[in-house]
Structure 1
Amino acid sequence: MDIFDVSADGHDAESPQGGGFYADDVPFRSGVIQEQSPPRMAYIAALNGFNPPRPEGHFRYCDLGCGNGTTLNALAAVYPEAEFVGIDFNQGHIAHAREWAERAGLSNVRFVQASFTELAGHDLPSFDFIGMNGIYSWLEGDPLSAVHRFLADHLRPGGLFYVEYMCMPGMIAVVPMWQLMQALVPDTGGSSHERATRALRLLEELTGGGMGYLQKHETARRAVRGYLQDWQRNEHRVDHFAHNALASGFKPRFVTEMCDEMASAGLVFGGRAAVRLNDPELSVGTQQLSVLRGVEDRQTRELLTDFTRNERNRRDVFVMGGEPDPEGAKAFLLDDVRMLCRRPAAAASRKLTAPGDREITLEGPGYDRLIAGFDGAARTPREVEMPEPVSDETLITAAHRLYATGEYFLCRKTIYDADWRDVPERLSMPLAMNRILLDNSIAEFRGNQMVAEATGGAAIWLGPLEAFGVWAWLETGRGGAADVLVQRFAERDEKVTVSGKSVPLNSLAKGQIEQLLVRLGRGKLRNMLRLGIVTAAD
């Protein structure tokens, strides 16, 4: 990882509501969850043959276990005509969410402090979209049943439910490690932060001295190493460990079990929020692909895919009622979904990597036209003139594979002023919510998503250093940005990775900071300008 790629976790808050330990005395620092955006949920459902609710104009969206409201407030900011409701039982989370909503000037979002078992006593409407990120695996008993009842009662027919959860078989090796840490560092009623710090120090000692279990189980070793590395870079990750690894009562599920639970609420599986995993050729190796294609039942295919990939986390979309509508789905994908290239067409990637060290090339006159058509304006696949007639299915698959490269924005409306332009000397950031997100990234030294009306949610990820660079550009203009960053970094004690080595942030030279600003001006800031996240200052 080079100096400009310092990353941070983007998971939203988790508020388990079952028995056992839950760290309610430390905040869960959350980010904007890209997969929870209405356009992304609708796109996934349509790829799998369902005609989704249109994420335009007035619709209703609910976030179950909204945490501190980061995702919901961000969505409310880019959809002023829609209604948003966030629900969480943690008083601190709700207070934070309401504070940010007020600071952002949002009047279309409200937050309800309640446990899931108390929701029947609240007057809540029906919703077109419901999201739940990071909490489902910690629910059990009455709270879990209450969520199923809420979905059955409040998600409209054809409505979409996004849910993130731990899954088997990948978690089978990780669960024993977290259970071990809970036993070695039990909850004694003290500070959750201190408990998590003791657990991480002990974990560091155990792994440094060699542990046979971790040597034999690569998945567990990667999970442990990830937490330790994050903790070394950013002390706030201690609280994340407290909320996840030290929270008791979690239960990983096989995808077939999850589908059965959703069926009890009237929902059917509608696709994976990870875009490329809806294409079997991009999900498994060649040998496994032939077996996968021979399995007719969709749930069983998903189970086989999870075993092939050793998945330990899933982000899925479920559909209320689940009646397929292939024609309606095709119409949405061809006439409503717009794409915009993140890079000039000449530099666009023409390859997709797939399991088994395979490469899928995206070449030919059809791809040439699509790539050129998605550069300079956000267009639907049908708006791009093809060199010769192609079937709807071929056009949808080609557009999907381009999107799966990660080099395209999924847009909800046409952007006509998306030409590549130099970033001006001085910038402004018109959306108050984006400025809140940016300031929060700097305060906590963590990455986050910037949001845009054009994308209907998350648009551009900024790592911690990139967030500093954008902030300095906004504050002083390009000319004074490096000097102000030298001063700000001198006050910080975080570490960054430079040329493979961890170095203090306050040791960065002005030349290295100038390099950061040059890269921002040539890359992400240009796209932020195209999407309207930043504009030229008066």
Structure 2
Amino acid sequence: MNDWTSGYVAEIGYTYDFFHAMTPTRMGLAALSKGVQHPFGRETFSYCELGCGQGFTANVIAAANPHIDVHAMDFNPAHIAEARALAEQGGVQNVHFYERSFADFAGSPGLPSEFDVIALHGILSWVSRDNQRLVYDFIAKHLKPGGVVYASFNTQPGWAAAMPMRRILTDHAERGTGPLEKRIDDAIAFAETLRKSGADFFANNPDQVTRLTKMRAMPRNYLAHEFFNKDWTPFHFADVAADMGQAKLDYLGAANLLDQMDELCMSKAQLEILDNECDQVRRESLRDVMLNEQFRADLFVKGGVPFTERGAVGAWFATPFALARRYSTGPVKMTWRGLEVDMAGLDYDPVLQKLSEGPATVRDLLAQGLFGAMQWADITRMMKYLVGAGFIVPCLPLDGIAERSEGCRQFNLAVCKQSEETQKLSFLASPVTGGGVAVDRMEQLFLLARSEGHETPESWALFAWQILAPQGQRLEQDGKVLETAEENIAVLQVRAQSFAARRVRILEQLGISLQPIATAQEASVASSAAA
């Protein structure tokens, strides 16, 4: 082990995910939902990510928010090299990446002395206690009053049953030889052998059998960073809240809006217990026990200032929303914590139909009478639910959309060009939402085809095949690899037609197009006609 890693996995790079909860517009809505003023609506503000991994989330946020000064650090030089390369390729000038440890980051040349937002996704659970103290010290010294911290971490009691199996896996991998990926495979195989031997642990903990089965199919770079670090700490929420408290931060609320809506997944008896608990930290601890929580994503605030009732309503009025997925009509249902939930009794159809035409503020929707006779509490509850269910997304103001659109176009073009060789990047930046939108490799190739003048789904499919075929890459259908060109092209054409019919319009409403603004609308008309 190299000393500079401090026990953290460096042999395998981390994944290239985009974490939606770290999007400024989403954090702003989560804070507004709790009635707390926040920095996310300012014309300019500073954003710091600690432990940014490959830096993809920081790059997307910077590309979609040119008014934000983004700074991100990671100790792994390979991560930072790749993050900087993507920023340069995508023309992102408002992001700054630092190859630093937590111990020396604060002294980096050019680093602002204070930040409005500090974000750390999953860092606390995977670093040593000494590094945790350095993180909290940085937050205490460099978060502005009124600033917000986003922190996600593994949680007890949800991980309690898994801890023995995790120890077996890591001990076996540590004793093994060869590359880490091989040692992970060997460790999983050994745990499976142990299970088949009739070990009572697995017999008495069937959830861990399911976990072990799922692990066999998980990407090894994810498992390396999730399970095989030297340090791995599932926290009790009260302990994290206490450490944040030492840095002068108070708990603001859950970053995920559905986690602010306990009525969706709890019994009346559970809700009564929570309602009777006046201590916010203890309330969250009890909630974790009720849900057997294993992962939290939380917001903390330094000197939070509550909205007045009038101020909160005004902030809601001014918030724009956009449709995030195709909607025709019918119930909006979802599975949340193992339960199928919906918003029975609230008529969301007029709102979703209107948003299918393009983004609109709550004020616009109210002015057109689209909420009917709903009470204000039901209006905000419905909008939170629709965001949490993935049907709508909060947006940036319309001002500045032209600059954001061109910046996102350049960045997204750089991402899509990489899809000619790899599928590792699967999100594009939206100038409308200020965040990332999932777009898989084939869809990125179709967007590239459109940007190069191909107007029909059939031509998009041929364009994609001409990239895949020379690399020896083939598609699968029903678990079978398609060998002939005709079979592959036929499947690509079906996917391209579905993309034209179901995705192009939504992506363009979210500002995602590789074409200059002047030609994007013409292409949209052509693809709609072809579909």
TM over 0.5, yes or no? yes
1:437 aligns with 2:415: yes
Number of equivalent positions: 503
Report the counterpart of residue 145 of structure 1 in structure 2. Answer: 133
| 1:411 counterpart (383, 395, 401) | 395
| 1:158 counterpart (108, 125, 146) | 146
How far 1:466 sits from its partner (Å)? 3.9
Q: Is contact 1:65-1:87 (8 Å) kept?
A: yes
- The unaligned stretches of length 5 or more in structure 1 are 1-15, 231-236, 418-427
Report the counterpart of residue 461 of structure 2 in structure 1. Answer: 482
Report the counterpart of residue 462 of structure 1 in structure 2. Answer: 439
Q: How does 1:182-201 map to 2 (within 5 A)?
A: 182-186=170-174, 191-201=179-189
1:262 aligns with 2:244: yes
Q: Is contact 2:323-2:356 (8 Å) kept?
A: yes
Q: Is contact 1:82-1:108 (8 Å) kept?
A: yes
How far 1:213 sits from its partner (Å)? 2.9
Paired amino acid for 2:358: A
Report the counterpart of residue 501 of structure 2 in structure 1. Answer: 522
SS at match of 1:86: strand
Name the CA shift for 1:468/1:222 in 2 (closer, same or farther; >3 Å). farther
Q: How does 1:347-496 map to 2 (within 5 A)?
A: 347=329, 349-351=331-333, 357=339, 359-364=341-346, 367-384=348-365, 385=367, 386=369, 391-414=375-398, 431-440=409-418, 443-446=421-424, 448-458=426-436, 460-474=437-451, 477=454, 478-490=457-469
Q: Is contact 2:117-2:147 (8 Å) kept?
A: yes
Name the CA shift for 1:323/1:58 in 2 (closer, same or farther; >3 Å). closer
CA distance in 2, matches of 1:206, 1:476: 57
How far 1:146 sits from its partner (Å)? 1.2
RMSD: 3.3
CA distance in 1, matches of 2:154, 2:409: 34
Q: Is contact 2:36-2:307 (8 Å) kept?
A: yes
Normalising by the residue count of structure 2, what TM-score does the alignment of the two structures yield? 0.84
| 1:124 counterpart (109, 112, 117) | 112
| Range moving further from structure 2, 113-122 or 183-192 | 183-192
CA distance in 1, matches of 2:11, 2:275: 49
Paired amino acid for 1:77: A
Report the counterpart of residue 525 of structure 2 in structure 1. Answer: none
SS at match of 1:249: coil
CA distance in 1, matches of 2:127, 2:314: 34
How far 1:241 sits from its partner (Å)? 1.8
Normalising by the residue count of structure 1, what TM-score does the alignment of the two structures yield? 0.83
SS at match of 1:308: helix
How far 1:190 sits from its partner (Å)? 5.2
SS at match of 1:252: coil
| 1:311 counterpart (293, 296, 304) | 293
SS at match of 1:432: helix
Report the counterpart of residue 503 of structure 1 in structure 2. Answer: 480
Q: Is contact 2:188-2:212 (8 Å) kept?
A: no
Paired amino acid for 2:359: A
Q: Is contact 2:420-2:467 (8 Å) kept?
A: no
1:167 aligns with 2:155: yes
Residue deviations 1:64-99, cap 9 Å, x none? 011221111111111122211111111111111211
Report the counterpart of residue 64 of structure 1 in structure 2. Answer: 50
How far 1:268 sits from its partner (Å)? 1.3
SS at match of 1:49: coil
1:228 aligns with 2:216: yes
Residue deviations 1:309-363, cap 9 Å, x none? 2221111111112343353762464133211224566426444556674644344
Residue deviations 1:13-63, cap 9 Å, x none? xxx9885x3221221132221111111111111111211113443110101
| 1:47 counterpart (20, 30, 33) | 33
Report the counterpart of residue 22 of structure 1 in structure 2. Answer: 8
Report the counterpart of residue 12 of structure 1 in structure 2. Answer: none
1:94 aligns with 2:75: no
Q: Is contact 1:52-1:158 (8 Å) kept?
A: yes
Paired amino acid for 2:81: A
| 2:21 counterpart (14, 35, 39) | 35
Name the CA shift for 1:245/1:513 in 2 (closer, same or farther; >3 Å). same
Q: How does 1:292-331 map to 2 (within 5 A)?
A: 292-327=274-309, 330-331=312-313
Paired amino acid for 1:406: G
Name the CA shift for 1:494/1:137 in 2 (closer, same or farther; >3 Å). farther
Residue deviations 1:289-327, cap 9 Å, x none? 333333332222322222222221111111112343353
| Range moving further from structure 2, 298-307 or 273-282 | 298-307
How far 1:469 sits from its partner (Å)? 4.3
Q: Is contact 1:74-1:451 (8 Å) kept?
A: yes
SS at match of 1:174: helix
Superposition misfits of 4+ residues, deviation over 6 angstroms: 492-497
How far 1:515 sits from its partner (Å)? 1.8
Sequence identity percentage: 24
Residue deviations 1:204-255, cap 9 Å, x none? 555677754334324433432332123xxxxxx2222222211111110011
SS at match of 1:431: helix
How far 1:278 sits from its partner (Å)? 0.6
CA distance in 2, matches of 1:295, 1:309: 16
1:240 aligns with 2:222: yes
Report the counterpart of residue 529 of structure 2 in structure 1. Answer: none
How far 1:495 sits from its partner (Å)? 8.7
CA distance in 1, matches of 2:251, 2:242: 10
